[in-house]
């Protein structure tokens, strides 16, 4: 009888880059990948924040370093990533939102959200993929999308546009990068309690509206995403590419 061995979720010997890693989802992703054995580079614009986060991971006996990086400077980021050893894993997490009624959206709102959520994410993934291809290495690119890349939402027309775009280019990446053994997927969280979302969720009416759509009856936490990120980064997801992993508490189920 053929003995089957389950693939490992361990990431020992792999290098991971996490953008927007100083807090919230990015910090949770970095912590999870480090716990699974990866050497994690935490990237963000704020040096103090990511250096402190890297030290905290190191204090737990895991491997981490900080990289001050502005992903909206696509040329500068490409140079920095190109000069590094290849990253086997990318968690493309840096993002923003400016909730505004559709009829009140200004060009600067649109540009700020699209610049970070689409343009910077696209070219960060490109830089990591180029380095992997040059080195002849396999990899896993995890783009942090949203349930709003699958549905619409009031006051979120630009954010929805950015995440629907990310869902599209992730699938196109999967098609092109598959022959290079580079897997490309998205995770699509519901509302997660983070420093970015807290100002909105502090509004009782908004919080109640959100909770009414989450079938599990609670908001998400960064910890809720950690297992999914390790899964997509690991050999356990070896046949998974061009997919969206919905971590939405059932928001999109109806």
**Domain harbouring 58, CATH code:** 3.40.50.720
- The predicted-structure confidence for 23-41, as pLDDT tens digits, reads as follows 999 999 999 999 999 999 9
- Cα three-residue angle 30-31-36, rounded to 5 degrees: 100
Reported pTM: 0.96
- Cα three-residue angle 27-195-43, rounded to 5 degrees: 35
159 tagged catalytic: yes
Q: Return the pLDDT at 1.
A: 54
Pick the catalytic residue: 122, 159, 191, 231? 159
Q: Return the pLDDT at 97.
A: 95
Q: Return the pLDDT at 213.
A: 97
Element (H, E) at 163: helix 157-177
Q: Return the pLDDT at 200.
A: 87
The answer, yes or no, to whether residue 4 has pLDDT greater than 80, is: yes
The answer to whether residue 2 sits within a structural domain is: no
| Contact between residue 233 and residue 176 where contact means Cβ atoms under 8 Å apart | no
| Contact between residue 134 and residue 151 where contact means Cβ atoms under 8 Å apart | no
Closest CA to 225 of 251, 187, 195: 187
The answer, yes or no, to whether residue 166 has pLDDT greater than 90, is: yes
Closest CA to 90 of 173, 207, 206: 173
- The predicted-structure confidence for 96-148, as pLDDT tens digits, reads as follows 999 999 999 999 999 999 999 999 999 999 999 999 999 999 999 999 999 99
Using CB atoms within 10 Å of the CB of residue 200, give its burial: 0 to 12 exposed, 13 to 18 middle, 19+ buried: middle
The answer to whether residue 1 sits within a structural domain is: no
Q: Return the pLDDT at 79.
A: 98
201 contacts: CB under 8 Å, gap ≥ 6: 191, 193, 207, 210, 219
189 contacts: CB under 8 Å, gap ≥ 6: 25, 144, 146, 147, 220, 224, 225, 247, 248
The answer to whether residue 173 sits within a structural domain is: yes
| Contact between residue 249 and residue 214 where contact means Cβ atoms under 8 Å apart | yes
Band (240; pLDDT cuts 50, 70, 90): very high
The answer to whether residue 45 sits within a structural domain is: yes
Band (20; pLDDT cuts 50, 70, 90): very high
The answer to whether residue 178 sits within a structural domain is: yes
Number of compact structural domains in the chain: 1
The answer to whether residue 10 sits within a structural domain is: no
* Mean pLDDT, residues 154-170 taken together: 98
Which residues are bridge partners to 188 per DSSP? 246
Closest CA to 91 of 25, 166, 12: 25
Across the chain, mean pLDDT equals 97
- The predicted-structure confidence for 172-224, as pLDDT tens digits, reads as follows 999 999 999 999 999 999 999 988 888 889 999 999 999 999 999 999 999 99
Per DSSP, the residues of 61-74 read: T--EEEEE--TTSH
Show the domain range for 236. 15-245
The answer to whether residue 182 sits within a structural domain is: yes
The answer to whether residue 251 sits within a structural domain is: no
């Amino acid at each position: 009888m053929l003995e089957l061995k389950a693939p490992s979720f361990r990431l020992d010997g792999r290098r991971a880059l996490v953008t927007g890693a100083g807090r919230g989802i990015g910090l949770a992703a970095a912590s999870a990948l480090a716990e699974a054995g990866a050497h994690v580079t935490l990237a963000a614009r704020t040096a103090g924040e990511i250096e402190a986060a890297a030290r905290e991971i190191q204090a737990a006996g895991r491997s981490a370093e900080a990289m001050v990086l502005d992903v909206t400077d696509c040329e500068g980021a490409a140079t920095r990533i190109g000069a590094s050893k290849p990253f086997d894993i990318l968690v493309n997490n840096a993002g923003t939102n400016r909730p505004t009624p559709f009829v009140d959206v200004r060009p600067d709102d649109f540009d700020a959200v699209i610049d970070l959520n689409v343009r910077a994410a696209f070219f960060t993934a490109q830089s990591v993929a180029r380095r992997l291809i040059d080195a002849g290495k396999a990899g896993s690119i995890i783009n942090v999308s949203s349930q709003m890349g699958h549905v619409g939402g009031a006051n979120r027309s630009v954010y929805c546009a950015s995440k629907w775009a990310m869902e599209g280019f992730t699938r196109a990446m999967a098609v092109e990068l598959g022959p290079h053994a580079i897997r490309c997927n998205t995770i699509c969280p519901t509302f997660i309690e983070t420093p970015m979302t807290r100002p909105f969720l502090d509004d009782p009416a908004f919080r109640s509206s959100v909770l009414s759509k989450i079938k599990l009856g609670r908001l998400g936490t960064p910890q809720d995403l950690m297992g999914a990120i390790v899964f997509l980064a690991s050999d356990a997801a070896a046949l998974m590419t061009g997919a969206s992993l919905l971590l939405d508490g059932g928001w999109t189920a109806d």
